[in-house]
Structure 1
Amino acid sequence: MTDTSAAGNPTPGQQPANPPSLRVLGQYVKDLSFENPGHPPVQTQPNIDLGIDVGASPHADGNGLFEVSLKLSAKASAGDTVLFISELDYAGLFQLQNVPEGQVEAMLLIECPRLLFPFARRIIAEITREGGFPPLLIDPVDFVALYQSQYRRAAERAQNGNGGAS
């Protein structure tokens, strides 16, 4: 008797011989900027404009290595006065092994930034506090929804680009 089904897949409850794995080999600040153009006393809650971007690229060494970059930007203003602008590019070096090709992109753009986010969030909170403001505590991010939104926009751009072709 064998431990695989007719299709060659492991039977239910049995782990595959080489399961997919994700390793964090390093994480680091690539770029950090904090501008404090004016610090007037703020009597009201400032308006905060937050931006999040995720990118991934293969590392030059190959071997399943990828650099994933999480970019956070925050601009606080009260009326027409800019209180602060903070930008962080926080990256990690990840190694993927035995990940099916169709799942690599989702792993890089969902799971990797999910692992980086708490560290990037802490850096933004500390830099705003050091700039003389209350710490900016960014709410948790749904990277699945962000990925799906980016995927839909890319599909729409591709469709619009091909819409006039016959």
Structure 2
Amino acid sequence: MSERPDAAELLALARAALLDEIADAVPAEKRYTVLMAANAIAIAGREIAAGARMARETLAALAGLYGEVAAGEEEDAETVEARLAGLERRLARDLRRGAFDGDPRLPALLLRRTRAALAISNPKALPAEHSGREGEVVGDGTACGAPPRAPSPAPGRG
């Protein structure tokens, strides 16, 4: 077990130093640039921390959609990424030609992928009730990955 911080931890330390020690010292007209850099560091850290797991989960979902075998644990990250890229290109072609029109699996798959991408790029954009793991039941009674229910009508109005 290594005592050194891993890549995600190093990025978190760099981001904290940038925000805590440097951001207030730069001229006001450069502050936005510093905040953009801090945000990019945060995104990179989240991608490093979750990227491999998310790539495997996305590959499993797409492989399932096409009736293919998901990635095995023995497949390296490069192979997973290559298979995922191929299935994503195939999905894009199939979507353009209407191959999944009316397929009930597609909206849930696309919603999961969008939420997974948001969890890395902009987690604050995720509704709080859908920030849990896929399939986990959340506050409004839906499972993560399922579309949220329409709000109930106000008492006396429905």
With the length of structure 2 as denominator, give the TM-score of the two structures: 0.23
Which structure's relative contact order is higher, taking Cα pairs within 8 Å and 6+ residues apart? Answer: 1
Which structure carries more helix by proportion?
2
Structure 1 length-normalised TM: 0.23
Q: Which structure shows the higher strand fraction?
A: 1
Larger radius of gyration: 1
